[in-house]
Structure 1
């Protein structure tokens, strides 16, 4: 009888993951070094300086209006169709799907959830920080500006900082952050920097963002990438918890569903009171003839292995009257002839 159960697709996925190493030995988790802390502090200072320059309606706001009046989409209309598609590289939905597909394949190959968990952590930080800044400052975009030369702050907008730019920095920069070799990290850093720079300038070309929005979006995305090592211990704990949950779930699935715990029944001997005679039983006709009783010799009995072998003396043949027993020396045979 065949007792093997058919493997589902999820079981085959788990079996495929179990054949991979738990974590490649050559991949190092970035730590919050002194160099990274210096970069984080400098980027944070740049972020605050941009916010202060816009709030105080400084030269940066005047530059925003000059670029808006220049109308780059009218100066170079031949690249408008291409940049309409290129700006998609900064949208959160399509870029998250593309990058998560690549990182999911890496998780499959390396049997680790760290790439996907790191991407999820960075996107969560991006939504919280950039979303809070957008709603808190409430700046209107170039197409909805009301007063020429004003900073358009606190009017219920959600344009400052640029979400496309920050998302491009984080989504493509996470590939460089998770790179397994220094060479791949350098190449991916250059590619992500060029991509995010192009997305930011494209939003200025299309007139959907001020130039200061793009500058603040670059700083906001870079702050998230620089702060990720602080969240690595939390990511490791979440990965361990998810793998433990998976192991418990798999253990529950492998247990047979038809196995029902059976409570053992203990049979107690029936006792008969001393003053009550046992009930007479009806004779049962026996099928087999009763065997003769076996009588054993009294005394302790030894096992077969402990007994001393006894060699029989004499011949084992039954005695015959017409036979003469053999002596030690052979009898002389009669000689025939003269």
Structure 2
């Protein structure tokens, strides 16, 4: 039955034993190095106003959104797949379900670490180079660097690479990793070219965005120890809070229990006379005959223990004579 398979799918299961955490292999280091070199080359090409800047202006003056206006409505919605807010919520919901089902916080923590690294690196580059976008360009043929803009590299493109690529990074099987890698590549390439079509980014903005997002994904194995420590810390804190709450529930006074809701500090409702205790405490021997009882830290008094020349130790009071005994009598 489809319903039975659905409910079986919703049940929790232990983490897959073959879900190996990606390691920083030699091949991965080589690809990361090549990506960073490509990143630096694009920045240098723009700073030196090379042929890539001329390509930027040629594509911008071509105005693709006017050449193919029929695509405009669809691509206006498609580019949302690169916006940080909607995509982060969508992917976080999926990874949250995976975290609950596999009883591990790693998917959510890996995504949080990747987005933090992306925002810091891309945000610093945007603010540092301050490039103007095509719609705000000042001089034809210039690189528009170090002005008032913040579009270099393309945040939409880099975010599409990281947000969708993190699904492939967290895949637990080779087949799922291949499918998700192709899906992420299609979304990243599509979002990047869409921003060029809409005229919101230069071509070099998109090239640098692809490099920035790929560099974040390739560097993620270096942050796995931090993710593991954060998961251990969060789970340890959760267990400590649970243990503390159970201890509080076990030793809390009766007035703090749910059945005492609406009662005062001593379990008496406002306006009602105090009820006698359900289980009266046992009284000391002699209390029923009216014999006064000692309280606090006072010790029982005996005439033999009275110091000579004074009555400071008598239970009748400090410096007072016991009743019925004449002064000075022994």
Query: How far apart are 1:252 and its partner, in Å?
Result: 1.7
Map of 1:223-234 to 2, 5 A cutoff?
223-234=215-226
Q: How many residues align?
A: 256
Taking a change above 3 Å as real, the CA distance of residues 172 and 273 of structure 1, as seen in their structure-2 partners, is same
Q: Give 1:257 deviation, angstroms.
A: 3.9
Distance 1:258 1:228, change over 3 A: closer
Counterparts of 1:45 and 1:251 in 2: how far apart (Å)? 51
**Residue 78 of structure 1 corresponds to which residue in structure 2?**
70
Question: Which position in structure 1 is the counterpart of 2:243?
Answer: 251
Give the one of 148, 153, 157 matched to 1:161.
153
State yes or no: 1:96 paired with 2:88.
yes
Residue 28 of structure 2 corresponds to 36
Please state how far the C-alpha of 1:156 moved relative to its aligned partner. 1.4
Matches within 5 A, 1:88-237: 88-237=80-229
Q: Which moved more, 1:97-106 or 1:249-258?
A: 249-258
- Alpha-carbon contact 2:16-2:172 (below 8 Å) kept: no
4+ runs deviating over 2 angstroms: 255-261, 265-276
- TM-score, with normalisation over the residues of structure 1? 0.72
1:251: how far off? 1.1
Q: Which runs of 5+ in 2 are unaligned?
A: 1-9, 254-294, 307-330
2:54 corresponds to which of 62, 76, 84: 62
Matched residue of 1:247: which SS?
A: helix
RMSD: 2.2
Is 1:48 matched up with 2:40? yes
Separation in structure 2 between the aligned mates of residue 117 and residue 38 of structure 1, nearest angstrom = 26
Question: Gaps spanning 5+ residues in structure 1: where?
Answer: 1-15, 277-338
Change (3 A) 1:208 1:260: closer
TM-score of the aligned structures, taking structure 2 as reference length: 0.74
The structure that has the greater radius of gyration is 1
Q: Secondary structure at the match of 2:251?
A: coil
What displacement does 1:20 show? 4.5
- Displacement of 1:255 after TM fit? 2.3
Looking at structure 1, the residues matched to 176 and 27 of structure 2 have their Cα atoms a distance apart, in angstroms, of 20
Work out the CA distance in 1 between the residues paired with 2:48 and 2:305. Answer: 112
The secondary structure found in structure 2 opposite 1:124 is: helix
Q: Which has the higher helix share?
A: 2
Aligned position for 1:314: none
1:97-136 CA distances to partner (integer Å, 9 max, x unpaired)?
0000000000000111000000000000111000000000
Give the Cα separation in 2 of the matches to 1:101 and 1:71: 37
SS of alignment partner, residue 139 of structure 2: coil
